Amino acid sequence: MTFNSSELLEQIGELPEDWHGCGSVSHKVLQAIADHAQETAPIYHSVETGAGKTTLLFSQLSQSHLVFAVDAGMSITRVRESPLLNGQHVTFLEGPSQRTLPRYEFTHKVQIALIDGPHGYPFPDIEYYYFYQLIETGGLLLIDDINIPTIGRMFEIIKVDDMFDLIDIVDNTAFFKRSVNPMFPPEEDGWWLQGFNREHYNRTFGGFRLTKLALRKTYEFKVGGSGLPLLKSGFSLPESQLVWTNGPKAVMAFEMPQFKNDLELSVTAYPFAPPTLGDDQSCEVYLNDNRIATWRLIGLPVWRRQFRKLWPNNKPFTAIIHENLVRPGEIFQLSFKFNKLTSPKQVGHSGDSRLLGLAFERLSLGPASSDPRMKSMGSFLKNMLRR
């Protein structure tokens, strides 16, 4: 930072509690904002709803700070009049955030966003909708007054969302850090993929329960397909025939069936592997913490989406699950981790900005070909054909 944060915080702390008529955050919260901002620095862009002591702090922390607020309790007036305000770094957009936020066109990602505007339901939720899309990976989302029941519910929802990690709570202010997980599509649905809803969907929605995989059954990932209850995180919305992974990691969750000897996982999927990614694009497959396969993803320009026409003889990806890795009845996570990703937008194909890895069409689980019983059956069939 190019200023003395301790001195600034001391000066802000000397302002009276009734400095303006809408209340202010505590010195401890201001100190926490400064500390977490130091870890996130540099702060090129930031945004908040509401105005007050936090605005004075952000005017020094951030190179460009946006304030969506009304002058309730003379909050904006007091901020403008304060010698602690670095006015060159702050832009005020006066008016109800319910109106001003939807109309504003953001041109930059932000490193910090604070929700502290109108507190009545659903107004903080509206602010969250516009802010979560802006926060870059590693950036901060701050939510004040989580002691208010409706804001507390929003806090509980975000706390289990894959996009954010809760890193601190000071007084009634929550501090979240944006994770590396993909952004939840702001113009789609996919409620069943969100952490707060996931358990409910997996266990009860539409009669589905956490799926216990059946041997030799094929699970499909099209709209309405039997494989959709397996999806836990890192997947886009299902399409007519398949579902794409979106981001560096995708996870399925299920119960394993009872079995003896090794199993073979078979997945019909199509990589998004444009030539710009080279020939070393890969997907590592994990069953819980055990890596069971590494799949090479090369040479298939699948964004054309005419999969069967382009690759009528496309072979499934496979992985062997050794019997010592599984205790029947347990819940297992099947994770797919990608080393290189790009989007159709980045390669100039379309405006689709998703980081695509694999498009899953089908999945099945059966005895591995190395299973002695399968070998015996193969020998039996060979002998029958010779007769």
The pTM is what?
0.60
Position 254 scores a pLDDT of 87
Distance of CA 178 to the CA centre of its chain: 8
Q: Determine what percent of the chain is predicted with pLDDT higher than 70.
A: 86
The H helix count followed by the E strand count for the chain is 10, 17
Residue of 301, 218, 233 whose CA lies nearest to 267:
218
| Pairing between β-strand 218-220 and β-strand 243-246 as defined by DSSP bridges | unpaired
**Count of domains forming the chain:** 2
With respect to residue 20, please indicate whether it lies within any of the assigned structural domains. yes
Residues 172 and 231 in one domain: no
Q: Which pair of structure tokens corresponds to residue 183?
A: 């952004």
Half-sphere exposure at residue 123, Cβ-oriented, CA atoms within 13 angstroms: 16
With respect to residue 42, please indicate whether it lies within any of the assigned structural domains. yes
Mean model confidence pLDDT for the chain: 85
Residues 48 and 120 in one domain: yes
Burial 294-309 (b: 16+ CB within 10 A, else e): ebebeebebbeeebee
| Cβ atoms of residues 48 and 66 within 8 Å | yes
pLDDT tens-digit map of 212-271: 888 999 999 988 889 988 988 888 888 888 999 999 999 998 888 777 789 999 999 999
Residue of 295, 372, 353, 288 whose CA lies nearest to 325:
288
Residues 230 and 124 in one domain: no
Residues 22 and 104 in one domain: yes
Residues 213 and 354 in one domain: yes
- The residue segments making up the domain with residue 150 are 5-178
Residues 240 and 174 in one domain: no
With respect to residue 184, please indicate whether it lies within any of the assigned structural domains. no
- 147-161, 203-217, 271-285: the lowest-pLDDT one: 203-217
Type of residue found at 8? L
Position 299 scores a pLDDT of 55
Residues 352 and 326 in one domain: yes
Give the confidence band of 96 by pLDDT, cuts at 50, 70, 90.
very high
Residues 174 and 195 in one domain: no
Give the confidence band of 314 by pLDDT, cuts at 50, 70, 90.
low
Residues 203 and 135 in one domain: no
Q: Is the pLDDT higher at 171 or at 198?
A: 171
Give the confidence band of 370 by pLDDT, cuts at 50, 70, 90.
low
Domain boundary among 144, 178, 212: 178
Mean pLDDT of 99-124: 96
Position 194 scores a pLDDT of 84
Collapsed DSSP state (helix, strand, coil) of residue 16: coil
Check which CATH number belongs to the domain holding 277 and give it: 2.60.120.260
Check which CATH number belongs to the domain holding 136 and give it: 3.40.50.150
Position 21 scores a pLDDT of 64
Residues 254 and 338 in one domain: yes
Residues 145 and 37 in one domain: yes
Q: Which pair of structure tokens corresponds to residue 260?
A: 């003896």
Residue of 28, 27, 21 whose CA lies nearest to 51:
21
Q: Determine what percent of the chain is predicted with pLDDT higher than 90.
A: 53
In this predicted structure, the answer to whether residue 374 has a pLDDT above a threshold of 70 is no
